[in-house]
Amino acid sequence: MSESNTVNFVTYEYPLNEKIRSWLRLETLLNQVYELSHITSYTSGIAFFRSVSELIEILDRGEVRSDMIKELEKQRRRLSAWSDAPNADNQLISSLLNDLATKAANITTAPRFGQQLRNDKIISMVRQRLSIPGGCCSFDLPTLQLWLHMPQEQKEQAISGWLKSLAPLKETLDTILNLIRQAGSFEIKECHNGFYQDSVEDKELLRVRLSSDKLIFPQISGHKTRFAIRFLHIDSENGIVPAMMTFELSCC
């Protein structure tokens, strides 16, 4: 298939409870921290430290560790129940159960999430200035200016230590969200006049998939058992949403 005919799909996710909402934000920030960790300039350095600062704020808000341990146990029970189903892949289930046990042990024994980041002098110094527009200029933070001009090997050594302290958190979160996403499968649905609504039972995450060429995105609202989706065109003044259109929906 030629590149011009390739259709790109965008997956939009919406949490149905506060726990999943917090985890999706945490996942986004962890991905930013890891992707921005190769600092080669002042600009990339500030972007990295800003993501680290937001990550620390998220970690300070709730009981992330205890919620994850409960979720790992919930997923373990679900997988154990599947092992009794006809045609179950018991080898795969056993592998997943072992992985969940390892992740549970790792986060149980790990230090407080983000503690190494909180204690670092450079990170603390930058965090104090991030709330001020342009507050990380060289005249505000000469220490950061010097740190950014240190040999790349020294910077990468420090960053490697920070990322290593986050590894148990990131690996566990990736495993949990992957299992939650795999609990649902995409089905083709129809909406009329850009609107769709439905009810769900015991679901935590909605996933909507649309082709990007339509320039249409979903505005999702809902909580626990009911949800509604309003489809909007990115050009709110001139764009047109078809009277009837299909999309893909997965309730996880």
Measured between alpha carbons, how far is 249 from 184 in angstroms, rounded to an integer? 9
Measured between alpha carbons, how far is 45 from 25 in angstroms, rounded to an integer? 21
- Asked if the model's pLDDT at residue 1 lies above 60, the reply is no
CB-CB neighbours of 178 under 10 Å? 10
Q: Which two tokens stand for residue 128?
A: 């104090």
- Asked if the model's pLDDT at residue 3 lies above 50, the reply is no
Distances (CA, A) of 24 to 74, 105, 146, 150, 170: 18, 23, 35, 34, 12
Whole-number percent of the chain with pLDDT over 90:
76
When pLDDT is cut at 50, 70 and 90, the band that residue 206 belongs to is: very high
State pLDDT tens for residues 102-126.
999 999 999 999 999 999 999 999 9
Secondary structure of 166-186 in HEC code, one letter for each residue: HHHHHHHHHHHHHHHHHCCCC
- Asked if the model's pLDDT at residue 4 lies above 50, the reply is no
If you average pLDDT over residues 238-250, what whole number do you get? 94
Is the alpha carbon torsion for 41, 47, 53, 59 positive or negative? negative
The mean of the pLDDT values for the chain is 91
State pLDDT tens for residues 63-109.
899 999 999 999 999 888 887 777 777 788 888 899 999 999 999 99
Q: Are 225 and 201 in contact (CB under 8 A)?
A: yes
Question: Tokens 């499968």 correspond to what residue?
Answer: 185
State pLDDT tens for residues 146-189.
999 999 999 999 999 999 999 999 999 999 999 999 999 999 99
Measured between alpha carbons, how far is 245 from 233 in angstroms, rounded to an integer? 13
**pLDDT at position 93, please?**
85
When pLDDT is cut at 50, 70 and 90, the band that residue 2 belongs to is: very low
State pLDDT tens for residues 39-62.
988 999 999 999 999 999 999 887
**pLDDT at position 5, please?**
56
Query: Which alpha helices (DSSP H) does the chain contain, by range?
Result: 18-35, 42-59, 64-82, 90-109, 115-119, 121-129, 142-148, 152-182
Note the pTM of the prediction, 2 decimals: 0.90
Q: Which two tokens stand for residue 10?
A: 């965008």
